[in-house]
Amino acid sequence: MRKTPPETKTTDTLRVASADGAIVAQQWLAAFAPKIRPKLSEFMCDHARSDDGAKIRPFPFQSDMADSFTDPETAQVSVRKSSRIGYSTILQSFVAWRIKYDPARTLIYQPTIDDAEKFSRDDLDPVLQWSVVRTVAQFKPRHSDNQIRAKRYKGGWIQIKGANSPKEFRRVTSDDVFLEECDGYPWASKEEGDPARLAFKRNLTSPRRFSAAGSTPKVKGFSRIDSLFEQGSQEYRYVPCPHCGHMQTLVFGDGTGAGIRWAPKENPTRAWYQCEQGCEIDEAEKPWMDENGEWRAHNPGAFPRHRSFHIWAAYSQHPGAAWLEIAREFMEVRKDPNLLRTFVNQVLGEAWAERGEAPEWQRLYDRREKAMRLGTPPAWAGLLIGAADVQRGGGGRIDMDIWAFGPDKKRAFVERIEVFGPIADKRTWTKLDKEVSREWESEDGRPMRLARVAVDSGDGENTMEIPAIGLKTAVNALIIIGIGGALAPLFAA
């Protein structure tokens, strides 16, 4: 037998060791390499499934909205919408994307607890069985981690809550907050405040917070999604005319200019879109128009941090949203105000405004100043004051309203802060101290701090305990007892 020289064995050993070392190095580098997280639109194309298991391919207008959910520069998304545009599919896909690529604490608020349970069974549970989700998480039936309204997985959880119960907003902190059909939430109560605002506060302390709201608007002047849309980037979908190339938004129209047209008038059998330049556009051109369309912000100052979109049924390529179907639906409801209101909300994606002389609230609303961003003092603010109220219900709570004051007796509400905990517990006041010591940035970029804070101790239980606990912040704090009634003095000893 021929023997291998010793020097050859040594060389071969070094080569093997070198190769093994290279493999180990590659594996080590791969372990620490940043995870590649696809855009949500790409994720939907690859993994989203309909109820029958078929692949879901988002329409172009949906893709751009979906990608805002996974854009690290975007902290909030608001969608003022009609039905039949697929917003729920975007939300469902984002939940699956979260579980796969970026686990988080997720809160989803539905109008009622019944709605929350229905959403969980009909919309969320099927998503949790998608193949891409099952590669990282198993949601087994009758398991403690898979309850109707609470799902837990490695690194995160999902809770689905109803906005009609005050307790659904207590003792929970999240990273994501989603408001589903927020115009259907009950109105604020004196004790608890507006449900939508309470919900958005659930993730204020998260370093990676993300919030989204999608809703069909209801009544003009009382629409939460209208207000959120106005606070955001106010993006509308512009599409080109296939004949002249003119970019425009699609509108229903009034029959005299751009908009949906149909014939015969009383019993439509054909519909088309009238371009702003007079061209007649056939329904078959809609996919091409959407493919070449783009979102344009009417309030670019809010882009990209708060992106808000308006979208209605005319853009959708679902058969039930064809222009002919929209025309027929309008002809059926046009003479009945109640049915027409549903058409305006559900098809046009617009808030309903009563005809005739505007009511008092409408005249006041029309005279309003430009909407101020929550938590941001106006540019004219010269002084910030905190007014705290002690609440003994629900285990104890301190509510503090922040008010801005300026020239000519101007004042504006800036923000409400809630601190939970027993009033007699010093730790509760330590948490309030942190809030009182915060710094706010005004609309014109000035840093502002509270000049004074007053604490109303007259809850009938903790009046004598509060002065002993007190606030340790440098802010000048006053302990007061509120006096109600029309004849109450402005000041009392």
Q: Residue 459 above 80 pLDDT?
A: no
Residue 2 lies in a domain: no
Question: Which of 311, 334, 366 is the last residue in one of the domains?
Answer: 366
Average confidence (pLDDT) over 27-37: 61
| Cα 333 from Cα 212, distance rounded (Å) | 32
Binning pLDDT at 50, 70 and 90, where does residue 384 land?
Answer: very high
pLDDT at 391: 75
pLDDT at 269: 96
Residues 362 and 407 occupy one common structural domain: no
pLDDT at 482: 60
CATH code: domain of residue 402? 3.30.420.40
pLDDT tens-digit profile of 324-354?
Answer: 999 999 999 998 988 999 999 999 999 998 6
pLDDT at 419: 84
Q: Residue 444 above 90 pLDDT?
A: no
Residues 354 and 460 occupy one common structural domain: no
pLDDT tens-digit profile of 159-172?
Answer: 999 999 888 998 89
pLDDT tens-digit profile of 158-206?
Answer: 999 999 988 899 889 999 999 999 999 987 654 567 899 999 999 999 9
Residues 262 and 164 occupy one common structural domain: yes
Residue 23 lies in a domain: no
Residues 280 and 189 occupy one common structural domain: yes
Residues 130 and 73 occupy one common structural domain: yes
Lowest pLDDT segment from 122-126, 214-218, 377-381: 377-381
Binning pLDDT at 50, 70 and 90, where does residue 297 land?
Answer: very high
Residues 326 and 429 occupy one common structural domain: no
Q: Residue 270 above 90 pLDDT?
A: yes
Average confidence (pLDDT) over 121-147: 95
Residues 401 and 319 occupy one common structural domain: no
Which residue would you say has higher pLDDT here, 259 or 17? 259
Residues 46 and 176 occupy one common structural domain: yes
SS3 43: helix
| Cα 401 from Cα 439, distance rounded (Å) | 15
CATH code: domain of residue 119? 3.40.50.300
Residue 420 lies in a domain: yes
pLDDT at 7: 59
Q: Which residues of 338-361 are buried (b: 16+ CB within 10 A; e: fewer)?
A: eeebebbbbbbbbbbeeeeeeeee
| Cα 134 from Cα 36, distance rounded (Å) | 19
pTM, full prediction? 0.68
Residue numbers of the domain that contains 412? 383-480
Binning pLDDT at 50, 70 and 90, where does residue 256 land?
Answer: confident
Q: Residue 25 above 70 pLDDT?
A: no
Residues 304 and 264 occupy one common structural domain: yes
Which residue would you say has higher pLDDT here, 385 or 21? 385
What's the whole-number average pLDDT of the chain?
85
Residues 344 and 404 occupy one common structural domain: no
Residues 233 and 136 occupy one common structural domain: yes
Binning pLDDT at 50, 70 and 90, where does residue 247 land?
Answer: very high
| Cα 248 from Cα 314, distance rounded (Å) | 13
What residue type is 272 in one-letter code?
W
Tokens of 28: 């080590």
Binning pLDDT at 50, 70 and 90, where does residue 364 land?
Answer: very low
Contacts of residue 246, Cβ cutoff 8 Å, sequence gap at least 6: 240, 275, 276, 277, 279
Tally the domains of the chain: 2
Which residue would you say has higher pLDDT here, 210 or 420? 210
**Burial bucket for residue 191 (CB in 10 Å: 0-12, 13-18, 19+):** exposed
Contacts of residue 120, Cβ cutoff 8 Å, sequence gap at least 6: 148, 149, 160
Q: How many CA atoms lie within 13 A of 273 on its CB side?
A: 25
What residue type is 171 in one-letter code?
R
pLDDT at 296: 98
pLDDT at 19: 58
| Cα 348 from Cα 333, distance rounded (Å) | 13
Residues 289 and 407 occupy one common structural domain: no
Contacts of residue 412, Cβ cutoff 8 Å, sequence gap at least 6: 372, 377, 378, 381, 403, 404, 406
pLDDT at 410: 84
Q: Residue 236 above 70 pLDDT?
A: yes
Question: Which of 313, 340, 366 is the last residue in one of the domains?
Answer: 366
Which residue would you say has higher pLDDT here, 480 or 323? 323
pLDDT at 283: 96
Instruction: Map tokens 């938590």 to a residue.
Output: 375
Which DSSP string corresponds to 106-175?
A: EEEEESSHHHHHHHIIIIIHHHTTSHHHHTT----TT-TTB-SSEEEETTEEEEEEETT-GGGGSS---S
- Are the C-beta atoms of residues 198 and 374 closer than 8 Å to each other? no
Residue 11 lies in a domain: no
Q: How far apart are the first and last CA of the chain?
A: 112
Q: Residue 433 above 90 pLDDT?
A: no
Whether the CA torsion 452, 446, 380, 417 is positive or negative: it is negative
| Cα 479 from Cα 470, distance rounded (Å) | 8
Tokens of 434: 């942190």
Residue 119 lies in a domain: yes
Question: Which of 341, 366, 391 is the last residue in one of the domains?
Answer: 366
Which residue would you say has higher pLDDT here, 474 or 113? 113
Residue 61 lies in a domain: yes
pLDDT tens-digit profile of 57-109?
Answer: 999 999 999 999 999 999 999 999 999 899 999 999 999 999 999 999 999 99
Lowest pLDDT segment from 269-273, 351-355, 425-429: 351-355
Residue 490 lies in a domain: no
pLDDT at 486: 44
pLDDT at 207: 93
pLDDT at 51: 84
Q: Residue 452 above 50 pLDDT?
A: yes
Residue 282 lies in a domain: yes
Q: Residue 488 above 50 pLDDT?
A: no
